[in-house]
Structure 1
């Protein structure tokens, strides 16, 4: 069953347009790489456990090993190297600005000084570990989850017995962020067509306020139409397609077993 959209039968306006195709998505994965052919619920669980283990590590050696494992996972998932580097660069640019003050605010053995302000070795080490953890988490999410469509990720969450309301809220949020983005762009084009240009004056701020207000009004109207359409189609709070899970295969077992071994190995290296 699909979520309904506009009053004129816009069933494809639903929050998870691809939900009706979930039953056959597994066969499509079989033609892809090994990582994408693994059950989405297993991939989500492995990603969560791996990230928790990485966040708990306090050893540079263990974190460096985890970074290598995450990079291998990205390569195994056949993700674009350029995309991975761009996302890491965006993250690192933000993290470096945030972590730049750690060496100067953390007490410890002086490493160097800037304008008479000493930077500690402990602060630099802490900043490096935080940066490594962030990069490892981003790479593993990119490897295991970025290839999932929203509906497939919703099915994975449902398989892990997450609350149904949370799964539905997640799917609707993903869908309607894009819908509202398109609505915002249409309103901006209409404003530009009427000669509006952004300036730092009262007229600009008033116009931006009208834009935000109109976006909220249209969002409420759209949500009311969608709720009415869903009720007309007998929506009972669940999507049957999200509960249709294929049986686990040898790939799933092998992937889960290897992942458990990797996480235990990282934990042991971190302890030493």
Structure 2
């Protein structure tokens, strides 16, 4: 793709997963504001339909951890030049000694296997453009912490896969970008991980300005909108109050 195509965003077309909430939803809104055609992908059809009505995105209800869903999705999308894998999530804060198989299976399916399945399915399309793959991982991939072993492992695996993909596809002209957010306050991430609203609130307690889903979406929008010869390999982003995974100022 030449740079002139990047200047006219109405020629750009993205698939965004995890689009029913959080970073995925915010990314759909950011790209639509810029004039992109956007396929919004998530499991919850009702929320996708609302997003489609509000933004003009194309709703595609699918579970990226289900191969049949991915195959059907691949056959529906057309002229895609960008894949943004936002679907992911954490379950539980158990220490490894008390690890629950179901939690680990969930985290590997949505963060690792789902990203692999959809990327594998769309690579033939993306190679023709050539296109862009952007994976949202986490600073949890960079530094482990107590109670995070399952999420650390899943995000580290997703990061390793992203790095390998960049090496494998550079000859096909593909651009592969990784965005690694730190503390992001979204409506569902901590709630789903911890299971209670009170516990979720404690994650962000006293932090004056955690990142928002919109903050991350703006970085994603910028990275994929740059001329194609510019590859922002890895973008680590945190709130100013978080100097490292373990260094977080609470007031």
> If you compute each CA radius of gyration, which structure gives the higher value, 1 or 2?
1
| TM bucket normalised to smaller | under 0.3
Normalized per residue, the structure richer in strand is: 2
> Higher relative contact order at CA 8 Å, sep ≥6: structure 1 or structure 2?
1
Q: Which has the higher helix share?
A: 1
Normalised by the size of structure 2, how large is the TM-score?
Answer: 0.26
